Amino acid sequence: MSEPTDFRLDFRPCRREALGLLLGVAATAAAPCAFAQDAPPDVGVPRLGEELTPFGAVQAGNRTRAIPRWTGGLTEAPRGYVPGRPPPDPYIEDVRWFTVGAADVERYKVRLTAGQQALLAKYPESFELALFPCHRSAAAPQRIYDATLANADRAGLGENGLALRDASVGVPFPIPANGVQAMWNHKLRWRGGSVSRTSLTVVQSGDGSRSMTKLREEFASPYADGDMAAPPLLYRRTILEPKEQAGSSLILQGTLDPIAARTHAWAREGERGRVVRAPDFAYDTPDPVTGGICTADMLDMFSGALDRFDYTLVTRREMYMPYNAYRLSNPCLTMRDILWPGHPNPQFLRYEMHRVWVVDARLKSNFQHTLLDRTYYLDEDSWQILASEHYDGKGDLLRYAEAHPVQHWQVPALVPAVEFAFDLTADRYTARGLDNGLPPPVFGAPLTPQDFTPDALVRRGRRG
């Protein structure tokens, strides 16, 4: 079945030209960081929950019906769900819509990211995109929707154009006016509250060799709990395997003002190592568990400070994005099944047409970063970054990353099942979040801000 053509949006390939945004939201050619205080667009507030979803997405489907109307997302358990076990695929009976291979790039180019095109060109005989019917499964609790509506009427950016002001609990800017606001939406999106998970991060080489790190990751969001006295975002990871690294831990404490208060980081090497500050785990510092493929700020697709780049909100587009990736969590699958040399097995990847916000980031003058130019694709229904491209100063694409999310209906929350990041200069990639055969994530984990301090690392030892 071939996709009907729909060119209602402007699909010009220029990455830098600010295009007209849908629904009357104007893009600006000025550098986003020049905004001293962005006044919320009052005209859009009454439309949240009507023409727009509570998170600011277009509620209606598209003209060809390839994207359906959002009707509240997936909030009820599908047949076969057993609490405490990996979620069954609620869309297992879907029939593949069509496949995009290397020979089809020109036909579907307007729907493909530059990273997808690069993978299809690099692996023409083995990589493909399997397109399935779109399910707008993203959903969140009503209290998050209510807080988002309140934020739309009051949230803004501080004097430096970067710090978040007068927002709490919900998405800060459901109708974003610039790229910085859109990126804050990703950073502070609803992801299920406190979460604990055990998973694998694997670096896969083209020769078939791979290295594996087993991690316990814990995340808390005082921001989502309405606790504005604590750091808004808290993250801790502890290495469980390999044995020689067991007990090594990292703690990150986020901030709402990257100028006045930097993100704090602490690390411990090994079970009995000394806990030390880790100020270097930021920006373009290579993340060791990914074999250096990812930089520190590529954690969670993007988790860094916003001060080194100018962010431009380009447009909203209909594109082929990873979504509803329940197959990747199938407990019967092994790493050998999922991870092929060069790229993941496309048999277990699911792509759907979704609307995404496109944000371009360009390194400011007088600042340094190994990745000078970036493009992010943010899901309009959840504000999750689904894909990102990372370029050098010559315009060459060095890294490409995708988040393959699933909707956890019992929470409800849309979160990545697995994140893939590809080193396009070499024949290798990394997969984060593999949990096949492991317990599923625990939402509502009993975590407090005190669990994300250096003292907590000292107390817990190997348990991290």
- For 352-368, the pLDDT digits (tens) are 999 999 999 999 999 99
| Contact status, residue 18 vs residue 46, Cβ threshold 8 Å | no
Average pLDDT over residues 69-87: 90
**Percent of all residues in the chain with a pLDDT value above 90, rounded to a whole number:** 80
Structure-block tokens of residue 204: 């896969």
Report the DSSP beta bridge partners of residue 105: none
* CB half-sphere exposure, 324, CA atoms < 13 A: 26
Beta-carbon contacts of residue 148 (< 8 Å; ≥ 6 apart): 48, 54, 55, 56, 170, 171, 174
Question: Is the model's pLDDT at 317 over the cut of 70?
Answer: yes
Average pLDDT over residues 310-319: 98
Task: Quote the CA–CA distance of 114 and 136 in Å, as a whole number.
Answer: 24
Average pLDDT over residues 438-447: 94
* CB half-sphere exposure, 254, CA atoms < 13 A: 25
| Contact status, residue 375 vs residue 361, Cβ threshold 8 Å | yes
Reported confidence tier of residue 422, pLDDT bands at 50, 70, 90: very high
Structure-block tokens of residue 95: 């029939």
- Lowest mean pLDDT across 109-123, 125-139, 273-287: 273-287
What single-letter DSSP state applies at residue 193?
Answer: S
For the purposes of burial, counting CB atoms within 10 Å of the CB of 71, is it exposed (0-12), middle (13-18) or buried (19 or more)? exposed
Reported confidence tier of residue 3, pLDDT bands at 50, 70, 90: low
| Contact status, residue 199 vs residue 432, Cβ threshold 8 Å | yes
Beta-carbon contacts of residue 142 (< 8 Å; ≥ 6 apart): none
Reported confidence tier of residue 461, pLDDT bands at 50, 70, 90: low
Select from 218, 269, 216 the least CA-distant residue to 240.
Answer: 216
Kindly report the three-state secondary structure assignment for every residue of 314-340. EEEEEEEEECCCHHHHCCCCCHHHHEC
Reported confidence tier of residue 17, pLDDT bands at 50, 70, 90: very low
pLDDT for 142: 98
Question: Is the model's pLDDT at 76 over the cut of 70?
Answer: yes
Average pLDDT over residues 38-44: 43
pLDDT for 50: 86
Instruction: Please tell me which residue, 72 or 82, carries the higher pLDDT value.
Output: 72
Mean pLDDT score of the chain: 89
Question: Is the model's pLDDT at 454 over the cut of 50?
Answer: yes
pLDDT for 164: 96
- For 243-292, the pLDDT digits (tens) are 999 999 999 999 999 878 878 999 998 877 889 998 889 999 999 999 99
Tell me whether strands 373-379 and 385-391 are parallel, antiparallel or unpaired: antiparallel
| Contact status, residue 236 vs residue 451, Cβ threshold 8 Å | yes
Select from 236, 240, 239 the least CA-distant residue to 217.
Answer: 236
pLDDT for 273: 81
Select from 66, 154, 135 the least CA-distant residue to 94.
Answer: 135
pLDDT for 43: 45
Please, what are the domains in the chain? 22-463 (2.50.20.10)
Reported confidence tier of residue 463, pLDDT bands at 50, 70, 90: low
